[in-house]
Amino acid sequence: MNVRIGIPKGSLQEATLQLFARAGLQVYTNGRSYFAGTADPEIDCMLIRAQEMARYVEHGVLDAGLTGLDWVIESGLEVVPVSDLVYAKQSRGKVRWVLAVPESSEYQRAEDLAHCIIATELVNVTRNYFQKKNVPVQVEFSWGATEVKPPMLADAIVEVTETGSSLKANRLRIIDTVLESNTQVIANTTSWADGCKRRKIENLALMLRGAMDAKDRVGLMLNVRKQDLDRVLSVLPALKKPTIATLSDDEWVAVNTVIEESTAWQVIPRLKEAKAQGIVEYPLNKVVM
């Protein structure tokens, strides 16, 4: 029983391969091939454009795949949403599809664009957006370089952005958010109904989420006298509650917890002031909630 997983080719490819590696599953790619092996003999991979992933998952060519929620909605196809993985090309945040117009234009809201030309890759979502507002527009598919089209080739665009810097560089102004999107694990309905394949896909999603949740977090171990435990606990911003274990000396306990790496700089000195001893900070590979 082999499971075939689709990995998005293009801007998300490197971030996805790194995520798989952090999750413990090495993917072996060849620059001249769209097929890839993995360290798990029951999992094969294919490199597929994110825009086409839902189609090949829905058709059963792939048992599951990683793609954006935006492309799943755009496709209108029936796939099973397995898990959200909030990461993008440059960050761990969501991306936005925004309605943008030239900085010098008089357009201030979507309703001002009646009978205008809108260029975008996300044609169906954009049409639905304007239809809900009862604004008649002409939506044209853009093959790329969408930011350079206004004002000569289009009046406005709907384009994806993480930071907005590319839009600003092209003298465009955002007037609305059309859709927020993030990466998802999606599955074929027949594969999801197969118990063995479903378990494999669920385990993959679990490990990918664990790797994501571990990123930018570290573990802390320390020892403290019982009489100073409350002071130490008041310093710790734990995910849930710290793990506390007794030591061979009944007057001492061991504390184990997870914190954001960025807070360690402030937290560790405060723990020392609270009379914690033997403080150890260590990296995390996965955090499974």
pLDDT of 45 strictly over 80: yes
Nearest to 122 by CA among 97, 94, 149, 91: 97
The answer to whether the predicted template modeling score (pTM) of the entire model surpasses 0.85 is no
> Two tokens at 67?
């793609």
Nearest to 4 by CA among 82, 67, 81, 63: 63
Its sign, for the CA torsion 263, 266, 269, 275, is: negative
Alpha-carbon distance 57 to 6, whole Å? 8
Strand partners, 221: 256, 280
State pLDDT tens for residues 160-182.
998 888 899 999 999 999 999 99
State pLDDT tens for residues 253-266.
999 999 999 999 99
* Confidence at residue 264, expressed as pLDDT on a 0 to 100 scale: 92
Which contiguous run of DSSP H or E holds residue 157? strand 156-161
3-state DSSP call for residue 62? coil
Could you tell me if 53 and 87 are in contact, meaning their C-beta atoms sit under 8 angstroms apart?
no
Alpha-carbon distance 4 to 38, whole Å? 11
* Confidence at residue 277, expressed as pLDDT on a 0 to 100 scale: 94
Angle at 44 between CA 41 and CA 45, to 5 degrees: 150
> What is the pLDDT of the chain when averaged over all its residues?
92
pLDDT of 89 strictly over 70: no
Burial 33-46 (b: 16+ CB within 10 A, else e): eeebebebeebbbb
Alpha-carbon distance 207 to 23, whole Å? 5
State pLDDT tens for residues 209-227.
999 888 889 999 999 999 9
Please name the residues in contact with 107: beta carbons below 8 A apart, sequence gap of 6 or more.
101, 113, 155, 156, 175
Looking at the chain, how many residues does it have?
289
Mean pLDDT of the 244-251 span: 92
- pLDDT range class, residue 103, cuts 50, 70, 90: very high
3-class secondary structure per residue, 262-273: HHHHHHHHHHHH
State pLDDT tens for residues 110-152.
999 999 999 999 999 999 999 999 999 999 999 988 999 999 9
Alpha-carbon distance 142 to 183, whole Å? 22
> Two tokens at 186?
């999606």
Could you tell me if 34 and 49 are in contact, meaning their C-beta atoms sit under 8 angstroms apart?
no
Longest dimension (CA), the chain: 79
